[in-house]
Chain A
């Protein structure tokens, strides 16, 4: 998460209007869902990689690591779709094997369905990874504010995001303090120490929320967390990319 956040602040399109980046990401996600072919899903993922590396200037390895993590979850998720389990040998199967009393098999139909699902999910996940790695959370919250989401929800998102990092620091300090007193020397100790960290973090969150409330009040904060909206750049290339994504994905859907 920290890496994703770091890249979100340090990429070539940091200053580009988050609406442009979000539209490109949502377009790819929607097209990969609607067009629903393995090739369109893969094309959406390729577009995400191309934009992330070519437009945003993200390091290929960093983007690949994020997408690989998502791919692992997707593959684990579609295994159940590809493989059938039955008490008798399947009538039609590309392959089957016996594990105890059960027969595991996969057919061309189930493989195709799994591939379709995986490609569709990968296309959507890669599109959102591009957005997450090129757009800081603060810009996304600003975008949601422009979309008139309830202020209370946005305030909660702002404070939650900010305090994730504060509490992570606190947690690291607590763990180091416990480790220095052999807090993780055995499984039993580790479990007890982890539980203590959880409790202390809860208390710390509560105390911090009270101190934050005081600090906000001292600066005149009464209802909502009003801050200046950031000024963004409009990049015409995003329109070109949008048109190209739309055309290429429809074309692939028609051809394959």
Chain B
């Protein structure tokens, strides 16, 4: 199933801030893409990702799922979150339950699935993220990498079509990053879209097929990765060491 998510002229101000976090952002994605979202700290990446998931509600413009505007009522938010999932940078901000299996089951149950269906989703997501052996463990006893994979499983159990990872690889060792990237590759092969907000230019260069560059709350460039990285001027805007 191919899902189209679009942001049309989205603007968002955080309360009390003079500058908008998102300024007239228009962006869209369809199935099976690997998108690297690049930009300096404070460029609006996280706000953009929250807008995609319906947590941030634009003050102007709109979010469209399969060409239908998200109305921010219970039904449309449920539909949006069934389609778009977010993994946050710090898994401790996401894992609320004392047990891994319980935490993963939270999303599926919120979608209105029965206990049996939710149990199946937990098992499938755990298998995909290779954490089946951790299901009975307490979340506070996990390592950083394990927590990241559990947080990922918690989102994948909702069977989302678009997975957004907001710097979810930050702080992981290379092996753990490799494991998480392998999961992303599996999802990509299933036709799911992955959006990875990252500061790791090397990773974006090696992995992404599309690059979105943000600056000051606006989207400066949306280009195929090969084209983006062939343009030293664009790369230098996020990484002076690449000059």
Is A147 part of the contact surface with B, judged by Cβ < 8 Å? no
Q: For A9, what are the chain B residues with a Cβ–Cβ distance below 8 Å? A: 136-138, 141
When A138-B97, A208-B93, A220-B78 are in contact, do A227 and B140 touch as well, CB less than 8 Å? no
Comparing B15-23, B82-90, B214-222, the segment that makes contact with chain A is: B82-90
Among the interface residues B92, B95, B101, B137, which one has the most CB atoms of the partner chain A within 10 A?
A: B92
Residues of B near A237 (CB, < 8 A) are none
Decide: B96 and A159 in contact? CB cutoff 8 A: yes
Contact with B along A211-230 (1 / 0, CB 8 A): 11011111111100111111
Contact across chains for A158 and B96 when beta carbons are under 8 A apart: yes
How extensive is the interface on chain A, given as a class? 20 to 34
What does DSSP make chain A's interface, helix, strand, loop or mixed?
helix
What separation, in Å, do the CA atoms of A219 and B98 have in the docked complex? Answer: 17
- Interface contact A221-B85, CB-CB below 8 Å: no
A230 with B138, Cβ < 8 A, contacts A162-B96, A215-B94, A218-B81 known: no
Q: SS class of chain B's interface: helix, strand, loop or mixed? A: helix
Taking Cβ atoms with an 8 Å cutoff, the residues of A that contact B are: 5-6, 9, 14, 136-138, 141, 158-159, 161-162, 165-166, 208, 211-212, 214-222, 225-230
22 A-B pairs in the complex with CB atoms less than 8 angstroms apart: A6-B141, A136-B99, A136-B138, A161-B98, A162-B97, A162-B98, A162-B139, A211-B88, A212-B94, A214-B50, A214-B93, A218-B55, A219-B81, A219-B154, A220-B110, A220-B111, A220-B158, A227-B103, A228-B101, A228-B115, A228-B118, A229-B115
Chain B interface residues toward A at CB < 8 A: 50, 53, 55, 74, 77-78, 81-82, 85-86, 88, 90, 92-99, 101-103, 105-107, 109-111, 115, 118-119, 122, 136-141, 154-155, 158
